[in-house]
């Protein structure tokens, strides 16, 4: 187990280096001049003298390999430079924005699980019943409606028409309700369908049929055996979505003016804030790898059929 975790952690290094390389190349082949972008964000007219000075300050007059190596070394020290927008260290800006994104991600995941687990479980047990039709209809609706449209609909009815919840911003728990509902519906659709399909598959397995022939109660079979193994694909989806949510729920944060990492990243793109963009790519790569590692470890615990040796060989 320790060697497996060690190998997975070591795998982070080449992936992150590759992500940094891709970002580095895209920035240098784009028509955007980092020196000009910095001066424009600072509302300074970019003269040739100022551009040359800033290019030298940013090290843009050095060979590309030297620039790339300096970028890697600085990122390893969590030194992403200063934001063009705020003129503050990028890492400090990210640390100040991440709690809002984590709060929204955790609340959305928890609400989605609270709804989708019993709904998917009951939908599989009572196949082709009213609750099954309801869960499938909800899944299709949640998977098809765009998040920005759902966000505006919820905002219109609950904030504008009924005046029950605030429209935008962050403060009390009321501000969290509409963004959480907007994010959760798509997650509920995914997890409900995954759990339903997985439970139906497990009900046809030989160990379930054998347990029934031994006279074990169906409730015990479902809770102690079927649900634990059937939950494995949901855990996989949970890890992937949680990593995605942690890198910023861009659309929802924009719709509800939620001061999180995703909105900060969008503002950075519009303002050509290159240090922030590099930081985003670095964190996104790390978060996705770590979330996938946690998912694999949880699956090893929940599903005894998964071989640790097989995963290590992969």
Q: Given CATH 1.20.960.40, say whether it is the number of domain 96-263+288-307.
A: no
Band the pLDDT of 304: cuts 50, 70, 90.
low
Average pLDDT over residues 258-287: 85
Q: What are phi and psi of 89, to 5 degrees?
A: -55, 135
Question: In this predicted model, what pLDDT tens digit does every residue of 228-269 receive, in sequence order?
Answer: 777 777 877 777 777 777 765 788 888 888 888 888 888 888
Does 281 score more than 90 pLDDT? Answer: no
Question: In this predicted model, what pLDDT tens digit does every residue of 14-60 receive, in sequence order?
Answer: 888 888 888 888 877 877 788 888 888 778 888 888 888 888 888 88
Q: What is the pLDDT of residue 248?
A: 57
Average pLDDT over residues 138-157: 88
Q: What is the pLDDT of residue 111?
A: 94
Q: What is the pLDDT of residue 164?
A: 86
Average pLDDT over residues 55-78: 85
The contacts of residue 167 (CB under 8 Å, 6+ apart) are: 155, 159, 160, 256
What's the distance, Cα to Cα, between the start and end of the chain in Å? 14
List the chain domain ranges.
Answer: 96-263+288-307
Residue appearing with tokens 């020196």: 35
**Residues β-bridged to residue 74:** none
- Report the number of secondary-structure helices (H) and strands (E) in the chain: 17, 0
**What's the whole-number average pLDDT of the chain?**
82
Question: In this predicted model, what pLDDT tens digit does every residue of 168-209 receive, in sequence order?
Answer: 778 778 888 999 999 899 899 989 998 898 888 888 877 777
Band the pLDDT of 314: cuts 50, 70, 90.
very low
User: Left if phi > 0, otherwise alpha if psi is -120 to 50, otherwise beta: which for 79?
Assistant: beta
pTM higher than 0.85 for the full model? no
Q: Higher confidence at residue 92 or residue 270? A: 92
Average pLDDT over residues 76-99: 87
């Amino acid at each position: 187990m320790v060697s497996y975790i060690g190998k997975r952690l070591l795998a982070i290094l080449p992936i992150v280096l590759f992500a940094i390389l891709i970002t580095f190349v895209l920035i240098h082949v784009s028509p955007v001049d980092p020196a000009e972008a910095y001066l424009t964000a600072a509302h300074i007219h970019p003269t040739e003298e100022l551009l040359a000075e800033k290019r030298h300050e940013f090290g843009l007059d050095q060979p590309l390999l030297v620039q790339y190596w300096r970028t890697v070394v600085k990122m390893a020290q969590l030194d992403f430079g200063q934001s063009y927008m705020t003129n503050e260290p990028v890492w400090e800006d990210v640390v100040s924005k991440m709690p809002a994104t984590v709060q929204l991600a955790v609340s959305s995941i928890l609400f989605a699980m609270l709804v989708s687990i019993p709904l998917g479980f009951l939908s599989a047990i009572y196949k082709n019943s009213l609750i099954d039709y309801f869960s499938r209809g909800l899944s299709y609706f949640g998977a098809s409606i765009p998040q920005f449209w759902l966000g505006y609909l919820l905002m219109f009815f609950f904030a504008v028409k009924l005046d029950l919840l605030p429209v935008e911003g962050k403060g009390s728990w009321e501000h969290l309700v509409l963004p959480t509902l907007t994010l959760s519906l798509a997650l509920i659709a995914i997890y409900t369908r995954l759990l339903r399909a997985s439970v139906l598959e497990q009900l046809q397995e030989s160990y379930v049929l054998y347990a029934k022939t031994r006279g074990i109660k169906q409730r015990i079979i479902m809770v102690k055996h079927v649900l634990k193994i059937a939950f494995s694909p949901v855990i996989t989806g949970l890890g992937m979505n949680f990593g995605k949510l942690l890198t910023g729920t861009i659309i929802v944060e924009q719709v509800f003016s939620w001061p999180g990492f995703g909105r900060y990243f969008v503002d950075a793109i519009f303002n050509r804030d290159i240090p922030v963009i590099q930081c985003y790519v670095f964190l996104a790569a790390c978060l996705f790898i770590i979330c996938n590692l946690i998912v694999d470890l949880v699956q090893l615990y929940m599903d005894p059929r998964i071989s640790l040796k097989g995963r290590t060989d992969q």
